[in-house]
Amino acid sequence: MYSTASKRVLGLIALVLIGSVVQPPDSIGAEATVSGKLAKWHKVTLTFTGPETDERATPNPFTDYRLDVAFTGPSGQKYVVPGFFAADGNAAISGADSGSQWQVHFSADESGPWSYQATFLQGAGVALADQPVGESGGFMDGVKGTFQIGPADGPGNGLYSKGRLQYVGERYQRFAETGEIFLKVGADAPENLLAYDDFDATPNVGKRRKSWSPHLKDYNTDADGLLWGPNRDKGKGLLGAINYLSGKGMNVFSFLTFNVAGDDENIFMHLVKKDLADYEANHGKKTPDKAWTTSIERLRMDVSKTAQWDRVLQYGDQKGMFLHFKTSEAENCKLMDNGDLGPERRLYFRELVARFGYHLALNWNFGEENTQSTEQHQAQNAYVKRIDPYNHLRVLHTFPGAKDSVYGPLLGDKSELTGLSLQTSNPAFTQVYGDVKKWVLQSQAAGKPWVVACDEPGDATHALVTDEEDPGHDNARINGLWGTFMAGGCGTEWYFGYKHPHSDLTCEDWRSRDLFWDQCKIALDFLTGNDIPLSKMQPTLTRSGDWALAGDGCVVVFVKQGGKTQLDLPQAKFSVTKLIAKTGETESLGTIDGKPLTTLQASVKQDVVMLLKTKQRDLKYDLGMPEAPEKVNLEGATVFSAIEDFNLGPFDGFVPNYVDKARKAIAINAAQFPGKKSAAEMQYEGNPGEFDIALMTMTETDGESTYELYVNDKKVGQIQNPVAREDYEKVVKVFPNVTLQAGNKIRIVFDAASNKKIAEDDGFAFSRGRWTGIAIAEPGKLKDATPAAKESTPSIPEFAFNYDPTNARKVHQQTDGILVVEAEDYDAVDREVARKWYRTTIDSTPGITPDPDPNHAAGAVGGAYLELLPDTRVTHADRLVNGVSFTNVPGQCSVLYYPVIFTEPGRYYVWARICCTGSEDNGLHVGIDGQWPESGARMQFTGQHGLWQWDSRQRTTKVHTGVLGQIWLDVEEPGLHTIMFSMREDGFELDRFLLTKQPKAMESKNLDKGPDASPLAK
């Protein structure tokens, strides 16, 4: 490698020798030398002989000369490509810093004849202008020529077989040659990949420069033509690393191109003013301007070093790799022109585009953890769009807590941004799905879908640790890898936490995560190899709350813990394939008929992917996604999800918590931990200052949970939920004027509490301390919010017995000691404010929705029965609304009246023939003559779902499934009486009932039709 000092001496000598040769010649120069493989998509280089000059010369060859070449293709397409000073035209090998060669790299998108015309201008700062305005520089100015391009390579030759990757206005990019979409997985770390011993003029601040020697054994001779240095023997370590990563099936790697004053400080395209020792002496984050202003030539580039970088990137093309250019980081994103689009920034991006823009698959990332203003982002995005002839993807990365304020103002037509590079802060990767899905959907709604990737999943400390530390990588695989894809993201690049071996700065052995690359390849192969129309599918949730993508005849479901998932499917025949995400094992599960409440059974206790496909492509999909919690106004705030942004522990001194997927909340299992406390934590990464913090909780009817807020283990305050009228109403409580700075730990402590109002087991039910997240905003922006009465929720007065059985149209009479009445033979009904009893027959189904149950009339006696509708509480996870979908108060809702004549007084046991389909449609109350005795409360049914069966059980605190023989009514005297039934749970289906003095008149849960109905009294 040529040292900076030796290059400087050569340059000074050359400048003395050629100082008078920079004047343009009188005539147009010769055509360019065309080199490279003249085939579609391959790198074609045009080399011109221009003014003899030097990296340090005056005029400045990087700013005061401007080479642009206009290429015209067979179909009339035109590309204007910026050129660059190339020293002797072979600087990667020679290390030259002077010469007369000027080059343009180009890749053609069509085979056939191409023409070109060069424009070469000179003048102070001419290269930095928006428009090519200046004097002719002579030499190649106006030179024209032609060349012939052959067809594209066949399959198997890296990106050359697929063509240029293009943004096409969708959330996935597409390859121009094949039309296929691009999904990526690979390495985000090390960010200082280009801090490499074999590159010219690369400093070694902090001894962080790499040899990449662990990958020497992975070097392949297919890279021989890309080695550099005088002996063509440099680059084997890094080229071997790329060969290894590609061989594992990965297709992306990432690198900083400028980290002066950053975490590593060894990477930049620029010349140093004096030598590397001077630069290393002046480095440092605490004085970031010192190295930049004192030791760096801010408007001059290192020709040989950038040419050597390009050889590595060429190998990436050859191996099918996407190139992630990270053009700055937090510490230095404002070094150039204080963040504005000034001469330093213009030159930097022009040189990036000119020297590397021809590569087929890349994005320009405008900064890792970027803190520039919205206006600065808009300006540099627009500039790069103007100068990049290939319109490569333009993305932005920022701090986890700054996404809303940074990305929001750039949505839609407010900027030329076309993608995002997301960073999260949860070590279990739980933020990934929510973050990716949010920006996929928001950009889509803004009219310009962004290509959204999660390029730093996890947190800064840990993220993707080594195989040795975590060989299973379950959280990374489930929440990070599949979380991104299931949210509609294009893929992930994996960051290596700074407190682990082979970290983001120290790693030079990608084999340290070898086992995880295998899991990534499984995901890539499955999603790209099964004809899944991802671009036409939308992210959603199943009825069970599992991640899903659906559309165009295809549904993909990811079930985190295996077992089963329930979803609503349109009526069609679907083939089902199961993938075990960790091992790659697949199994065909045959075909199913799509219907509401379809259950898919995974039969394993690990994360699985279910692929459902039908030939009917135009179906609409509503998989039964649980409704989101009631919205509150958090405008102007940054919101952090309890599930996605917090570390859920468990922590010492606290009981574990669990994720309530249906409500997007975390909670305590109150059955296991009544009265106990749990905790969750997050690290604040935003700007310092004083803020209001709003905690978002949910009410529960069985207790008023308490919540405590801590910052760095210091208690800020405590709140308690209000008394609930119904479950799961949204509450917002604000803690005002909380001081925060980056790195602070925010902890929420919450408990399971009981108000001793709802009986359960031997005692009382407990709330579960549910909460959904926090919001952080400037003081005064947030307000408390407590549940308010809803217009749709009825006000129900206490039960009053106003029914007169003497006016009944028909009365059933006891015979043979029993009474049997068909449910649909009621005489009157009242208190049907929220739910009504509807008659269902074989020929007629009520058109009331929701009603997830099928018609069960075929098994009902007489072909008819009654059902309480609508049925909104189907599972325990569904919202419970007291007095609407559920009531534990007999006589409160939907009362049926049956006038009957008893010939004998005594105690009568009540049996009913019912059909239940779940755990939330099998409860009823029974009473007599306007009274609701405890012995008639909470009739409970259990047994075979979907079948008519007899039972007589009462739900108790000890036995939720009911005690047989404990439901009865006492008849004091013979004569006319009124039997009453009222709702406990909506969706209840009642066929008939029986009153008998025998406690065990029949077998529990029997499927017989039972005795004939009692006759009507005359």
| DSSP, residue by residue, 535-548 | GG-EEEE-TTS-EE
Neighbours of 648 (CB within 10 A): 19
**What per-residue confidence (pLDDT) applies to 760?**
63
DSSP string, 65-110: EEEEEEEE-TTS-EEEEE-EE-TTTTHHHH---EEEEEEEEEE-SS
Lowest mean pLDDT among 217-231, 331-345, 383-397, 756-770: 756-770
Q: Is the pLDDT of residue 13 over 60?
A: no
Q: Is the pLDDT of residue 7 over 70?
A: no
Give 985: exposed, middle or buried? Use CB within 10 Å, 0-12, 13-18, 19+. buried
**What per-residue confidence (pLDDT) applies to 789?**
44
Lowest mean pLDDT among 454-458, 777-781, 805-809, 942-946: 942-946
Task: Decide if 923 contacts 868 (C-beta within 8 A).
Answer: no
| Choice between 70 and 845, residue whose per-residue pLDDT is larger | 70
- CA–CA distances in Å: residue 427 to residues 264, 645, 647: 23, 9, 7
pLDDT interval class at 883 (50, 70, 90): confident
Nearest to 177 by CA among 198, 199, 159: 159
Average pLDDT of the chain is 92
| Choice between 248 and 601, residue whose per-residue pLDDT is larger | 248
What number of CA atoms fall less than 13 Å from residue 155's CA on the CB side? Answer: 1
Percentage, residues of the chain above pLDDT 70: 94
Q: Is the pLDDT of residue 658 over 90?
A: yes
- Using CA atoms, how far apart are residues 640 and 629, in angstroms rounded to an integer? 15
Q: Is the dihedral of CA 296, 301, 304, 310 positive or negative?
A: positive
Q: Find where tokens 């020297």 sit.
A: 355
What number of CA atoms fall less than 13 Å from residue 7's CA on the CB side? Answer: 31
Backbone φ and ψ for 567, nearest 5 degrees, come out as -150, 155
Radius of gyration in angstroms for the set of CA atoms belonging to the chain, rounded to a whole number: 36
Give 11: exposed, middle or buried? Use CB within 10 Å, 0-12, 13-18, 19+. buried
Task: Decide if 991 contacts 823 (C-beta within 8 A).
Answer: yes
pLDDT interval class at 847 (50, 70, 90): confident
Q: Is the pLDDT of residue 178 over 80?
A: yes
Lowest mean pLDDT among 83-92, 870-879, 887-896, 956-965: 870-879
Task: Decide if 62 contacts 101 (C-beta within 8 A).
Answer: no
748: enclosing H helix or E strand = strand 745-751
Q: Is the pLDDT of residue 785 over 60?
A: yes
Q: At 943, list the tokens.
A: 């047994």
731-759 average pLDDT score: 90
Length of the chain in residues, anyone?
A: 1018
Nearest to 65 by CA among 82, 81, 42, 90: 82
**What per-residue confidence (pLDDT) applies to 876?**
63
Task: Decide if 385 contacts 416 (C-beta within 8 A).
Answer: yes
Q: Is the pLDDT of residue 985 over 50?
A: yes
916-938 average pLDDT score: 91
926-953 average pLDDT score: 92
Q: Domains in the chain, start-ordered, CATH in brackets? A: 4-151 (2.60.40.10), 165-480 (3.20.20), 538-613 (2.60.40), 638-777 (2.60.120.260), 805-996 (2.60.120.260)
pLDDT interval class at 626 (50, 70, 90): low
Q: Find where tokens 């790209």 sit.
A: 528
**What per-residue confidence (pLDDT) applies to 895?**
97
443: enclosing H helix or E strand = helix 432-445
664-687 per-position pLDDT tens digit = 899 999 989 999 999 999 988 777
Buried b (16+ CB within 10 A) or exposed e, 619-638: bebebbbbeebeebebeebb
Q: Is the pLDDT of residue 19 over 90?
A: no
Q: At 895, list the tokens.
A: 């009362």
Nearest to 310 by CA among 252, 235, 366: 235
Task: Decide if 705 contacts 697 (C-beta within 8 A).
Answer: yes
**What per-residue confidence (pLDDT) applies to 322?**
99
- CA–CA distances in Å: residue 980 to residues 38, 191, 972: 90, 74, 16
Q: Is the pLDDT of residue 909 over 60?
A: yes
- Using CA atoms, how far apart are residues 164 and 147, in angstroms rounded to an integer? 20
- Using CA atoms, how far apart are residues 580 and 608, in angstroms rounded to an integer? 5
pTM of the model: 0.72
328-343 average pLDDT score: 96
